[in-house]
Chains A and B, each alone.
Chain A
């Protein structure tokens, strides 16, 4: 059986992706991500090995324990407001990247912005250079 250390689980999708018998399910509804670990009798430890937070361990089968379910509030993008990532995942990114990388040249804290908006910011920034160059050529 899988035991989950609920204090360190990031709420990422690693274990659910690698489980060969679909014993770990997830759902995303209304800005919340829920991860559900079924009671499994397998001796496979793929999820334990491939957990980025080392939150999982295998324990002997016990019929009396309940199935674990964790629910994470998804953080909202600071630009579009749509939920896009769990708070522990974002904190992990913030602790893994060097501080000078966490803000772009304009001081934007891009980690708190969803990937879709990051692409838009990138496109807008590049386009601004072209528009400025065109104006210069016209004058």
Chain B
């Protein structure tokens, strides 16, 4: 599982950032980026199948647990190698590493998904592509106008 983003829906309100910070004691792991006036893009951990951060972590603090890239704070020394090994720049260190843990231990699942008022975030891999197909179908049905 990971958090999937439908940026056609993102309104750039940053509610996800606040929700993440609330759950993680002020240290948020999701960042909304604004690309000029075109789009708002929440940037967060992809939970890569072959995760660079886990490959360079020498204490085993970062490890794969199923689809999740999990983090054991007890083992982290804050060396900063993981932050440099992340292609997306979404792991950062400040004495210890900080990264998305998909709100481990939170029964309702990730707080960012629950909070997003525009339903732009989900843990359903098929949802974004299904919506894209539906949009395309609607466009075709009304003759190119939406």
Contacts and interface: CB of A to CB of B under 8 A. Distances in A.
B87 A130 contact: no
B87 A101 contact: yes
B86 interface: yes
Interface string A109-127: 0110011111110111011
A8 interface: no
B41 A127 contact: yes
Interface residues of B, number: 38
A63 interface: no
Contacts of B90: 115, 119
A95 to B, nearest CB: 10
A116 B5 CA distance: 20
A58 interface: no
B85 interface: yes
B77 interface: yes
A120 B118 CA distance: 23
A115 B77 contact: no
Contacts of B41: 122-123, 126-127
8 contacts: A13-B80, A18-B78, A85-B80, A93-B85, A115-B84, A115-B86, A119-B33, A127-B7
Given A17-B95, A18-B77, A52-B77, 16 more contacts: A13-B80, A13-B93, A18-B78, A89-B80, A89-B84, A93-B85, A96-B55, A101-B52, A114-B89, A116-B89, A120-B33, A122-B89, A127-B7, A127-B35, A137-B135, A137-B146
